[in-house]
Structure 1
Amino acid sequence: MKNDLVKKILPHIIAILIFLVVSVIFCKPALEGNVLHQDDIVGWKGMAQSAFDYKEKNGHFPLWNTNVFSGMPNYMIAMDGKSVMPNMNKVLALGLPEPISFFFLACISFYILCLSFRLRPVVGIFGALAFAFATYNPIIITAGHVTKMYAIAYMPFLLAGLINTYEKRYWLGLSLTTLGTYVLLNANHPQISYYFFIAAAIITISYLFIWIRQKEWKHLGIAFGVTVLAAIAGLATTALNLMTSTEYAKATIRGGTNVAIKGDSVTANKTDGLDTDYAFSYSLGRGEELTLLMPNAYGGNGREPGNEDSHVIEKLTAKGMPEANAAQFAGQFGKFWGDPGSSAGGPFYSGVIVCILALLCFVLYKHPIRWGLLAIAVLGVMMAWGKHFIGFNMFLFENLPLYSKFRSPSIAMTIPQFIMPIAAVLALQVVFFRNNAQELLKADFKKILYALGGLAGLLIVIYLMMSYSAPFDSQVLDQLKQNTGSDDMGRAVIAGLKEDRKALFGGQVLRTIAFIALTIGLIWTFMKNILKPIVAVAIFTAISFIDLYSVDKTYLNEGNFRSPDEQVAQTATPTAIDQQIFADKDPHFRVFNAGNERFSSSDYHYPTFHRTLGGYHPAKLRIYQDVIERYLNGQDSREILNMLDAKYIAAVNPQNGQPLLIPNPSAYGAAWLVKTVQTVNDDAAELQAIGRTNLRDTAIVQTSFAKNIAQPQSDSAATLTLSKYDADEIEYNFNASTPQFAVFSEIYYPLGWNAYIDGNKAEYVKADYALRGLSVPAGKHTIKFVFEPASYKKGLAISFTASIIVLILILGGLFMAWKQSRK
Structure 2
Amino acid sequence: MKKRMLREETIAFSILFIMTLFFFFRIIFLRYYFFEDFLYQYYPRRNLLATSLRIGVFPLWNPFVFGGMPYLGDIENAVFYPFNWLLALFTSGGRLVFRVLEIQLILHVFFAGIFMYMFLRRLGISHEGSIISSIGFAFSGFIITHTIHLTLLSTFVYLPLVLYFLLRSFQERRVIYSLFGGFFLGLSLLAGGPQFWLHIVYYAGLFSVFLLVEKKKQWVKYVHLPVILFISGILVSSVQLLTTAGYTAYTVRESLTYAESVRNSIPFYQLLTLFIPKFFGYISWLHGDNVKFWTGGYGAFWETCIYLGIIPLILSLYAFTKKDRRKYTIFFGILALLFLMAAMGKYTPVYWIFYHLLPGFNKFRNAGRFSGVFTFSLLALAGFGFDNLSKGKVSLKPLLYFTGSLFLLFVFIFAGAFRNAWSAMTYQKVYSYSLKQTGIALLFLILSSTAIFVFMRYKNRYAYLIPALVLFIDLFSFGANFNVSRVNPDEFYSENRLVEYLKEDYKKEPFRVNARQGSYMLLRRNSGDIYKLELLQGYTPLRLKLYRELRQLPLNTYLDLFNAKYTIRVEERRMGLVLNQTYLPRAKVFYRWEYVDGETAYKKLKEGYDYHNVLLIGIKEDFPQPETTGTQRIEYTERGINRIGITVDTDRNGVLFVSLLNIPGWKAVVNGVEKKILPVDYAFAGIYLEKGRSNVLLFYSPPGLRTGLILTLLTLVFMIFYGVLDWFRRKNLTIKKKSI
Which residue of the partner structure matches residue 263 of structure 1?
Answer: none
Contact 2:187 2:237 in 1 (8 A): no
- Aligned AA for 1:195? H
Shift of 1:428: 1.0
1:669 aligns with 2:585: yes
Q: Deviations over 1:225-284 (max 9, x none)?
A: 2332233333322222111111111111122xxxxxxxxxxxxxxxxx135554444433
Contact 2:266 2:304 in 1 (8 A): no
Query: Helix, strand or coil: the match of 1:254?
Result: coil
Which residue of the partner structure matches residue 611 of structure 1?
Answer: 534
Contact 1:755 1:763 in 2 (8 A): yes
Residue correspondence of structure 1 range 341-352 to structure 2 within 5 A: 341-344=299-302, 347-352=305-310
Shift of 1:668: 0.7
Contact 1:283 1:410 in 2 (8 A): yes
Which residue of the partner structure matches residue 700 of structure 2?
Answer: 787
Shift of 1:673: 4.0
Flag the 1:8–1:611 CA change in 2: closer, same or farther, 3 A: closer
Residue correspondence of structure 1 range 126-525 to structure 2 within 5 A: 126-141=132-147, 143=148, 145-168=149-172, 170=174, 173-174=177-178, 176-212=180-216, 215=217, 217=218, 220-255=219-254, 273-301=255-283, 334=292, 336-344=294-302, 347-362=305-320, 364=322, 366-389=325-348, 392-433=350-391, 437-438=392-393, 441-442=394-395, 494=426, 503=435, 507=439, 510=442, 514=446, 517-518=449-450, 521-522=453-454
Of 465, 474, 498, which residue of structure 2 is paired with 1:577?
498
1:589 aligns with 2:518: no
Cα RMSD between the aligned structures?
4.1
- Aligned AA for 2:222? A
Of 450, 454, 467, which residue of structure 2 is paired with 1:540?
467
Flag the 1:147–1:468 CA change in 2: closer, same or farther, 3 A: farther
Which residue of the partner structure matches residue 719 of structure 2?
Answer: 806
Contact 2:659 2:684 in 1 (8 A): yes
Shift of 1:685: 7.0
- Aligned AA for 1:430? N
Flag the 1:223–1:208 CA change in 2: closer, same or farther, 3 A: closer
Which residue of the partner structure matches residue 320 of structure 1?
Answer: none
Query: Helix, strand or coil: the match of 1:227?
Result: helix
Query: Helix, strand or coil: the match of 1:707?
Result: coil
Contact 1:639 1:691 in 2 (8 A): no
Flag the 1:722–1:805 CA change in 2: closer, same or farther, 3 A: same
Contact 1:170 1:223 in 2 (8 A): no
| In structure 2, distance between residues paired with 1:239 and 1:176 | 16
Shift of 1:160: 1.1
What is the aligned-residue identity percentage?
Answer: 19
- Aligned AA for 1:746? L
Shift of 1:208: 3.1
Q: Deviations over 1:601-644 (max 9, x none)?
A: 9513344221111122221111112223x24xxxx711210111
| In structure 1, distance between residues paired with 2:654 and 2:563 | 21
Contact 1:178 1:234 in 2 (8 A): yes
Contact 1:131 1:350 in 2 (8 A): yes
- Aligned AA for 1:744? V
| In structure 2, distance between residues paired with 1:687 and 1:278 | 29
Q: Deviations over 1:106-143 (max 9, x none)?
A: 221111112101222111211111111112323322x2
Q: TM-score, normalised by structure 1?
A: 0.76
Shift of 1:589: 1.0
Shift of 1:194: 0.8
Which residue of the partner structure matches residue 97 of structure 2?
Answer: none
Which residue of the partner structure matches residue 102 of structure 1?
Answer: 108
| In structure 2, distance between residues paired with 1:614 and 1:85 | 25
- Aligned AA for 1:287? Y
| In structure 2, distance between residues paired with 1:607 and 1:374 | 45
Q: Deviations over 1:542-586 (max 9, x none)?
A: 221221122222325xx5477xxx542432x32111222233233
Flag the 1:379–1:599 CA change in 2: closer, same or farther, 3 A: farther
| In structure 1, distance between residues paired with 2:522 and 2:197 | 26
Q: Deviations over 1:284-304 (max 9, x none)?
A: 344324423431232232779
| In structure 2, distance between residues paired with 1:124 and 1:252 | 43
| In structure 2, distance between residues paired with 1:731 and 1:104 | 46
Query: Helix, strand or coil: the match of 2:281?
Result: coil
Residue correspondence of structure 1 range 620-631 to structure 2 within 5 A: 620-628=543-551, 630-631=552-553
Shift of 1:815: 7.5
Contact 2:656 2:688 in 1 (8 A): yes
Which residue of the partner structure matches residue 649 of structure 1?
Answer: 567
Contact 1:738 1:778 in 2 (8 A): yes
Shift of 1:180: 3.3
Contact 2:159 2:200 in 1 (8 A): yes
| In structure 2, distance between residues paired with 1:140 and 1:712 | 58
Query: Helix, strand or coil: the match of 2:145?
Result: helix
Contact 1:358 1:423 in 2 (8 A): yes
Residue correspondence of structure 1 range 718-729 to structure 2 within 5 A: 718-719=631-632, 721-726=634-639, 727-729=641-643
Q: Which moved more, 1:298-307 or 1:530-539?
A: 298-307
Contact 2:511 2:565 in 1 (8 A): yes
* Structure 1 gap ranges (5+): 256-272, 308-330, 477-492
Query: Helix, strand or coil: the match of 1:626?
Result: helix
| In structure 2, distance between residues paired with 1:599 and 1:417 | 39
| In structure 2, distance between residues paired with 1:747 and 1:637 | 17
Flag the 1:68–1:168 CA change in 2: closer, same or farther, 3 A: same
Which residue of the partner structure matches residue 327 of structure 1?
Answer: none
Query: Helix, strand or coil: the match of 2:344?
Result: helix
- Aligned AA for 2:704? S
Which residue of the partner structure matches residue 63 of structure 2?
Answer: 66
Flag the 1:200–1:289 CA change in 2: closer, same or farther, 3 A: farther
Shift of 1:424: 0.3
Contact 2:648 2:694 in 1 (8 A): yes
Contact 2:81 2:190 in 1 (8 A): no
Flag the 1:454–1:51 CA change in 2: closer, same or farther, 3 A: closer
Which residue of the partner structure matches residue 44 of structure 2?
Answer: 46
Flag the 1:402–1:608 CA change in 2: closer, same or farther, 3 A: same
| In structure 2, distance between residues paired with 1:740 and 1:387 | 56
Contact 2:669 2:675 in 1 (8 A): yes
Aligned residues: 716
Which residue of the partner structure matches residue 555 of structure 1?
Answer: 482
Contact 1:305 1:334 in 2 (8 A): no
- Aligned AA for 1:747? L
Q: Deviations over 1:735-782 (max 9, x none)?
A: 5666534422111112x1123344443333333333123444566544
- Aligned AA for 2:210? S
Contact 2:448 2:467 in 1 (8 A): no
Shift of 1:416: 0.9
Query: Helix, strand or coil: the match of 1:660?
Result: strand
1:113 aligns with 2:97: no
Flag the 1:367–1:561 CA change in 2: closer, same or farther, 3 A: farther
Query: Helix, strand or coil: the match of 1:591?
Result: strand
Which residue of the partner structure matches residue 259 of structure 1?
Answer: none
